[in-house]
Amino acid sequence: MKFKRLVKACAAVMLSASLMLSTPLTASAAGIQGIDVSKYQGGINWAAVAQSGITYTFIKVGSTNTGIDPYFAANVKGAQAAGIRTGVYIYSYATTVEAAIQEAQLVVQWIEGYNINFPVAFDIEDKTQKGLDANTCTAMANAFASVINQAGYTPILYTYTNFYKTHFTSALACDKWIAQYADHNDIAGWQIWQYSSGGAVPGVNGRVDMNVAVKDYTAFIPQVGLLDLGQGNVFFYNNFRKQYGWVDLAGVKYHTDPATGLVTTGWFADETGAYYFLPGAANAVTGLNTIDNGIYYFNEAAQLQTGWIDLGGNTFLFNPAENGKLYTGWWNDAEGVRYLDATDGHMVKGLNAIDKDVYYFNDKGFLQVGWVTLDKITYMFNPLDGGKLYKGWWNDATGVYYLDPTDAHRVTGLAAIDGAVYYFNEQGQMQVGIIKVNGLTYFFGADGKMQTGMQTIGDGIFYFGEDGAMVTGAFATKDGIYYAGKDGKLVFNQVVTLDKKPYLFGADGKLVVNQLVQIGDMYYQTDAAGIVIAQAPAK
């Protein structure tokens, strides 16, 4: 840097002594030691430099007058290979804000592809700039710093004490690297002090500029991850560069403000979708996440998903009306009615008990109402009561049915209900009238109840036993003995041959015992067994 040439003539004797020995570090220069180099140092043994305790260096990248420094690439690679933090500087010839911006853009172009991991310096000290006023120089430095900052690097101003005092104002918006070859530095608030131009460092041929830093830039320029400066000022770095906008690090997404670089946390949305960035860690979440008492789902690209989502063999609803919050409970839309489990939100299928009632949902999760057959058993899910499983008597246009009070299955066949017996066909419809069941004949009244005893049906009288089955042949009741033909009708005023013996059944259908009775134009005499023992025409 040219400042050292200004003091060369007046300090020749003193500097000649310093060439023989390493420049002693005074109490004022206590701090983190570094050097700055250019083509004037020639080839450098950076491993030896690192072993000497030097932890950082500024390497001249070039200038607009001479282009890239011929040793720039070799110096950067060598220093970084030795583990030395590497910043760069451009020797400025700018005299306007526009020219300073162009120099900054040129620096960004030149250092692209190198992992510059220390500040980028704007070296302003040339004689062409001495006539500039303080506001102009300050504006130039700030403009340069803005371009460097937007490129993700840390800007710093380099100049010497007297130039700083006359050419800069308190509006300077970047760190300061001040050259003052003394045992103190007059400029308050400097971050790096170039305290000597006559240093001797192993690995460097000849003298070299010596610097001390009171700011640990390794803590402020991380290789990768978050930099928290407090009070909400959090930034994200990758390859030692502050990131702006979207960052994808091994598939993990981060986002920072495109203008300020401040890390985004919490909810964020742009034209690509909605995202949630974890407070603290700042990464965009994926998968299922609990946020503010709600559960949300983000795909592999960290984008919030809404609507119906299949996960792990289950279907869930992330309610579009609630910013994608997991929905639980009843859901009704144009497609139908569904229910999302109150515990984990999965869409239920099959038979489900909900609030002490039972419902049925098909394999697509839709509530079913009316008659539903499951494993060859039929149930009624009441369409008049929200699809609840129904029990008891059911009457509709197709007939009368009974749903078992225990498990609600639709009853078929003979069934005892509330002290009466009913018969339901294979479709579960209650039957009335004369019905044959398993070879037996029964009679069910208009109310469906099984009838017993004497029953007048049509033009005949029939008798049904205590089990409800219709009786044929001779049978005894407490009132007497009767006879029913093969069709079940009782016979009246008729002789019936049983076991080759004639028996007489009278006008009331009962067996006539020890009587002489006229039936039509005949008289019949019966004995104590009701057998006809004599008969003759009536005169």
Would you write out the chain's pLDDT as a tens digit for each of its 539 residues? 755 444 433 333 333 333 223 333 443 456 899 999 999 999 999 999 999 999 999 999 999 999 999 999 999 999 999 999 999 999 999 999 999 999 999 999 999 999 999 999 999 999 999 999 999 999 999 999 999 999 999 999 999 999 999 999 999 999 999 999 999 999 999 999 999 999 999 999 999 999 999 999 999 999 999 999 999 999 999 999 999 999 999 999 999 999 999 999 999 999 999 999 999 999 999 999 999 999 999 999 999 999 999 999 999 999 999 999 999 999 999 999 999 999 999 999 999 999 999 999 999 999 999 999 999 999 999 999 999 999 999 999 999 999 999 999 999 999 999 999 999 999 999 999 999 999 999 999 999 999 999 999 999 999 999 999 999 999 999 999 999 999 999 999 999 999 999 999 999 999 999 999 999 999 999 999 999 999 999 97
For residue 366, tell me if it sits in a domain.
yes
On whether the CB atoms of residues 170 and 180 are closer than 8 A, the answer is no
Whether residue 200 sits in one domain with residue 117: yes
Whether residue 191 sits in one domain with residue 97: yes
Q: Which two tokens stand for residue 20?
A: 């023989």
For residue 135, tell me if it sits in a domain.
yes
Whether residue 126 sits in one domain with residue 74: yes
Whether residue 521 sits in one domain with residue 430: no
> Of 188, 204, 219, at which residue does a domain stop?
219
Whether residue 206 sits in one domain with residue 136: yes
Q: How far apart are CA 6 and CA 126, in angstroms?
A: 11
Q: For the purposes of burial, counting CB atoms within 10 Å of the CB of 7, is it exposed (0-12), middle (13-18) or buried (19 or more)?
A: middle
Whether residue 159 sits in one domain with residue 45: yes
Number of folded domains that form the chain: 4
DSSP 120: E
We report the CATH number of the domain holding residue 525 as 2.10.270.10
We report the CATH number of the domain holding residue 128 as 3.20.20.80
SS3 402: strand
Parent domain of 134: 32-219
Whether residue 386 sits in one domain with residue 433: no
For residue 139, tell me if it sits in a domain.
yes
For residue 489, tell me if it sits in a domain.
yes
On whether the CB atoms of residues 324 and 304 are closer than 8 A, the answer is yes
Whether residue 201 sits in one domain with residue 54: yes
Whether residue 424 sits in one domain with residue 514: no
Whether residue 86 sits in one domain with residue 165: yes
For residue 19, tell me if it sits in a domain.
no
Q: Report strand pairing: 480-484 vs 494-498.
A: unpaired
Give the predicted TM-score (pTM) of the model.
0.78
> Of 219, 251, 286, at which residue does a domain stop?
219
For residue 138, tell me if it sits in a domain.
yes
Amino acid at 525: Q
Whether residue 348 sits in one domain with residue 207: no
Gyration radius from the chain CA atoms: 53
Whether residue 197 sits in one domain with residue 79: yes
For residue 6, tell me if it sits in a domain.
no
For residue 267, tell me if it sits in a domain.
no
Q: How far apart are CA 506 and CA 498, in angstroms?
A: 16
> Of 202, 219, 236, at which residue does a domain stop?
219
